[in-house]
Amino acid sequence: MNESNHPLPSSYRDPAGFIFQYENEVYRQVNESGRKDYELLLQSGLYDLITKKKWLIRHEEMPAGFLNKNAYKILKPEQIPFISFPYEWPFSMLKEAALLTLRIAKASLGHGMMLKDATPFNIQWHKGAMIFIDTLSFEEYKDGSPWIAYRQFCECFLSPLLLMHYGRASLHAMQLAYAEGIPLQLTSRFLPWRSRLSIHTYLHIHLHAKVARKNKGTDQKGLLVPKNKLINLLGSLEMLVHSLSLKDNGTVWGDYYAEVANRNDYLTQKKTIIATWVEKLPALKTAIDFGSNEGEFSLPLAARSIYTIAADADPVAVNKLHKTIRETNIQHIIPLIIDFTYPSPAIGLANKERDSFLSRISNTDLGLCLALIHHLCIGKNIPFASVASILAESCKHLIIEFVPATDEKSKQLLLNKKDIYQWYTQLEFENAFGQHFDTSKKQLIPGTERVLYLMRRSHH
């Protein structure tokens, strides 16, 4: 095997093939053992149908012998600019991924095939929608076969969606702890009793958990399931997923901009300054908005075709942004639930299977850090130096807003705290950031005491 096509750490599970990187692009190798199912995917018409519908990522086949003469095929899929993980997605994004999985499973059955995996890790956000990326997840359907990915679907998709639906809370920390899916028994225990009144929830979670517990270690291979029963099963799951929603019970900072916008034209002034600065920056391709809220500042960047990661710790705000993106069909933006103080770590086998959030965003062209510094430093006791260091590793250019201790929002944060923040001054802020950045512009936002800075990462 050529040095270049070693499997990526996340791609060791499937004997049919694996993904690898070559010259900064991602490829998929199809092994001899995956030949039959791959050929069926193409010949059955399933590949044409689901790529046309934009459910499955398109690929091109590389010439025979490309990089590895022993491979059956090397495929080059359409490239995805940013890889995200299910524990970073808002509720409606996970729901979209669940419905996509079920649609593909149904379409597969109609073409004599079956989806053998139902994990959200096979799905990515691309061009403003969810898309399935695992071309080798399809196998030939044999009469009477059960859906082997049924339990996986229930644990990876249904469990978190139902717990959020009934619990009205974000569960990304729990999804991170149970990256392979929240166990059925646990979900059944956590769901309120009234959830049993939904026939679909009762069947797919409560009864499923009971049966799985009883049949632990027994051989399920002899199980025969007629095709129409499989179609009904998928239909029942679809109805259940469709019925779930995230209740908008608001959060402390959820309506931040609604209140703040009333202050002396603050928002308009800020947008104008930032737009002027962004316009003059050289060839921006990527951006990250730390504390993006509902996308007030991320969306204008995406409108300029700058690929923007809109990251916020508020699940309700990120969920709203996802809905805005779907309704308006904006393409160059990805909304993610990311807490600046607790970003997704590297997890999985040898901690290399899924990269940390910070390693995935390193070297972004532009970072926005607006109305966030007081939350981090006063709200979470993080020193300026730590914030500056993280931002310097993340982006080349930075637009950051300094919110003084005298600002109403800072005072709010200090209400129930001892004021031990003598160091929280504009001068200290400038000194700490000056260790990593050179300031090219600095402007007071009219009608406020807040100051915007345009900085460039320095090389000292």
Q: What is the pLDDT of residue 2?
A: 42
Which has the closest alpha carbon to 180: 134, 216, 211, 149?
149
Tokens standing for residue 213: 């517990």
Sign of the alpha-carbon dihedral angle for 171, 173, 179, 180: negative
Q: What are phi and psi of 69, to 5 degrees?
A: -75, -15
Calculate the average pLDDT of the chain: 91
Q: DSSP label at 354?
A: B
Model-level pTM greater than 0.85?
A: yes
pLDDT at residue 380 greater than cutoff 60: yes
SS3 275: helix
CA distances from 381 to 10, 341, 417, 419 (A): 35, 10, 11, 11
Q: Which residues contact 29 (CB under 8 A, 6 or more apart)?
A: 5, 17, 18, 19, 20, 68, 71, 73, 74, 75
Tokens standing for residue 318: 């990120």
Q: What is the pLDDT of residue 459?
A: 73
pLDDT at residue 262 greater than cutoff 80: no
Residue 442, strand partner residues:
453
Whole-angstrom distance, CA of residue 358 vs CA of residue 213: 39
pLDDT at residue 9 greater than cutoff 80: no
Residue 391 host element (H or E): helix 384-394
How does residue 170 score in pLDDT terms, banded at 50, 70 and 90? confident
Across residues 223-228, what is the average pLDDT? 86
How does residue 139 score in pLDDT terms, banded at 50, 70 and 90? very high
How does residue 219 score in pLDDT terms, banded at 50, 70 and 90? very low
Residue 451, strand partner residues:
402, 444
pLDDT at residue 392 greater than cutoff 80: yes
Q: What are phi and psi of 439, to 5 degrees?
A: -85, 125
Give residue 187's identity as a one-letter amino acid code: T
Share of the chain above pLDDT 90, in %: 77
Whole-angstrom distance, CA of residue 194 vs CA of residue 401: 47
**Beta strand 395-402 pairing with 364-369:** parallel
Give residue 41's identity as a one-letter amino acid code: L
Tokens standing for residue 56: 């499955």
pLDDT at residue 251 greater than cutoff 70: no
How does residue 1 score in pLDDT terms, banded at 50, 70 and 90? very low
In the numeric block, the tokens 């898309």 are attached to 131
pLDDT tens digit sequence for 36-91: 999 999 999 999 999 999 999 999 999 887 888 888 999 999 999 999 999 999 99
Q: What is the pLDDT of residue 256?
A: 55
pLDDT tens digit sequence for 269-287: 999 999 999 999 988 999 9
